[in-house]
Amino acid sequence: MKEEFKKEELQRTLNAIDTCARGASLQAAILSPQFNVAAFKVEDYNPLPVSVTYSFADKPDNKKTMELFTTGSSFPLTKSLSFKNKMGNMSLLVHYTPTEGPVQLMKGLPNQLASYTIQEGKFKHEDKDSKSEFVVKVANNIHQIVCLEAAELMEKWTEIEKIPIKVTPAPVVVPEAKPEAEAPKEGETPAEGAPAEGQAEA
């Protein structure tokens, strides 16, 4: 205890049973919106690492294991696994990671936490150029229970939209007619360049 808490003398004002009950009551009051509790910082500690083992139906023997929640990580925490150009059809196993550390799984407890079978998704758009991304979200919730939170199929495609174009006809320009030269009245001199009365244009 001295090495863990870095103190020479540890003082206890409550016995072990009262300490656990008081801590549980305080944690419940912090989570409840009906109580006002002094500011406390509670850091949850994950004592045992948790991994997932998955495989797809097209290659059932190709199983891969990945550790998601390491020893000492806080919770609640959600981790995501992304697979490009996958449609689902996946088997997922959540289990404790075998470890040789000081904290071991109690004897008699199963190593497996949960097993899931995810069906194959379908596209809404049948496009040859569409791409898919299969996302699996695994959560270590507030109660330190690891479970599958969601399985999503994301589809990406390119859609070409034709925009109609309105063509406005060009306005028709009608040339203005030149007014005809009026004949000079009696007693008036013809305009310069205009033929005199009784004479024809050359």
CA distance 193 to 88: 97
The predicted structure's pLDDT at residue 129: 64
E-strand stretches of the chain? 50-56, 59-69, 77-84, 88-96, 112-120, 131-140, 146-156
The predicted structure's pLDDT at residue 41: 73
Q: Does domain 46-156 correspond to CATH entry 3.40.228.10?
A: no
For residues 69 and 101, is the Cβ–Cβ distance under 8 A? no
Residues of the chain with pLDDT below 50 are 202
pTM score, whole prediction: 0.57
Domain ranges of the chain: 46-156
Bond prior to 76 in cis (omega within 30° of 0): yes
The identity of residue 160, as a single letter, is I
The predicted structure's pLDDT at residue 197: 54
